[in-house]
């Protein structure tokens, strides 16, 4: 039977809504990608919504429809990245620390992973951007610290607790503090080096390996159990 004029075939409305939702999601992703590039390149004050719209190939009206203003767009980028950082590091902690039988080797591998991931140019740019705008947007900076930096170390402490439960480490009275201590041993020198002197000052691969090895050695001197499982070569 032919359709009557003005009627819609069953399911076509849902299909059209899904297509529109898909287009909206694609536009949103394009805006976030473009805005990230613009903020990292120009900083918050130098970033313009016109340039964001141009890079995303959408109208400025579309940008404002998706994000109320520049601050909301900035916040979405910082907090969205926070979720990605925590998810990635949490998986890394579990796979490296909890699946490697030799805790010394696991800590060395984890130290190298932290050094490689956290001294990437894009990660450093984002960190500088958050720090530069901390006084202007303390709520965003606080959310970034608590949701990314601190939360990732809480997860690391939880993985270390499971190692202690297996007898691979001594009992940890404060697992999060132990995680901060390990991260400090690994990251303090190279992170300050690249934050102040730029990414060109990033230590060579063999130096990063040496830092990770010594960090594992010092950490195990404080928290390791005697025996071959805690040995660091």
- The enclosing domain of 177 has a CATH number of 1.10.357.10
In a domain, 27, yes or no: yes
Domain match, 82 and 154 both: yes
Domain match, 188 and 198 both: yes
Beta-carbon count within 10 A of 109 CB: 18
pLDDT tens digits, 135-164: 999 999 998 888 888 988 999 999 999 999
3-7, 64-68, 164-168, range with the lowest pLDDT: 3-7
Domain match, 41 and 140 both: no
State yes or no: pLDDT of 193 exceeds 60.
yes
Domain match, 130 and 204 both: yes
Domain match, 176 and 87 both: yes
Which domain, by its residues, includes 203?
Answer: 69-226
Domain match, 35 and 105 both: no
State yes or no: pLDDT of 201 exceeds 90.
no
Between 170 and 229, the more confident residue is: 170
Domain boundary (21, 47, 67) is at 67
In a domain, 187, yes or no: yes
CA distances from 37 to 42, 138, 154 (A): 9, 22, 30
In a domain, 231, yes or no: no
Q: What would the mean pLDDT of 18-47 be, rounded to a whole number?
A: 87
Domain match, 161 and 212 both: yes
Between 14 and 39, the more confident residue is: 39
In a domain, 4, yes or no: no
Cα separation, 178 vs 47, in Å, equals 39
In a domain, 202, yes or no: yes
Mean of all residue pLDDT scores within the chain: 84
CB neighbour class for 227 (10 Å; exposed up to 12, middle 13-18, buried from 19): exposed
Cα separation, 154 vs 151, in Å, equals 5
Domain match, 26 and 86 both: no
In a domain, 5, yes or no: no
Please, what is the Cα angle at 191 between 36 and 109, to 5 degrees?
100
Domain match, 18 and 52 both: yes
Q: What is the CA radius of gyration of the chain?
A: 23
Sequence-distant (≥ 6) Cβ neighbours of residue 111 within 8 angstroms: 182, 185, 186, 211, 212, 213, 215, 216
- Count of domains forming the chain: 2
Cα separation, 219 vs 230, in Å, equals 10
Domain match, 152 and 186 both: yes
Beta-carbon count within 10 A of 173 CB: 7
Q: What would the mean pLDDT of 80-98 be, rounded to a whole number?
A: 77
Cα separation, 92 vs 109, in Å, equals 10
Cα separation, 98 vs 218, in Å, equals 20
């Amino acid at each position: 039977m032919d359709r009557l004029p003005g009627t819609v075939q069953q399911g076509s409305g849902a299909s059209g809504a899904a297509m529109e939702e898909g287009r909206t999601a694609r536009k949103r992703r394009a805006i976030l990608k473009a805005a990230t590039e613009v903020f990292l390149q120009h900083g918050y004050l130098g970033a313009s919504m016109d340039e964001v719209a141009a890079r995303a190939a959408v109208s400025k009206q579309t940008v404002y429809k998706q994000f109320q203003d520049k601050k909301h767009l900035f916040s979405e980028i910082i907090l969205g990245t926070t979720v990605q950082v925590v998810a990635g590091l949490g998986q890394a902690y579990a796979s490296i620390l909890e699946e490697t039988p030799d805790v010394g080797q696991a800590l060395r591998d984890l130290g190298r992973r932290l050094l490689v991931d956290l001294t990437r140019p894009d990660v450093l740019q984002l960190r500088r951007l958050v720090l530069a705008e901390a006084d202007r947007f303390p709520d965003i900076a606080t959310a970034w610290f608590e949701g990314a930096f601190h939360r990732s170390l809480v997860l690391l402490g939880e993985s270390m607790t499971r190692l202690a439960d297996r007898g691979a480490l001594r009992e940890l009275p404060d697992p999060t503090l132990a995680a901060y201590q390990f991260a400090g041993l690994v990251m303090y020198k190279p992170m300050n080096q690249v934050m102040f002197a730029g990414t060109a000052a990033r230590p060579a691969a063999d130096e990063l390996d040496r830092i990770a090895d010594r960090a594992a050695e010092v950490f195990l001197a404080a928290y390791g159990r005697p025996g071959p499982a805690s040995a660091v070569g």
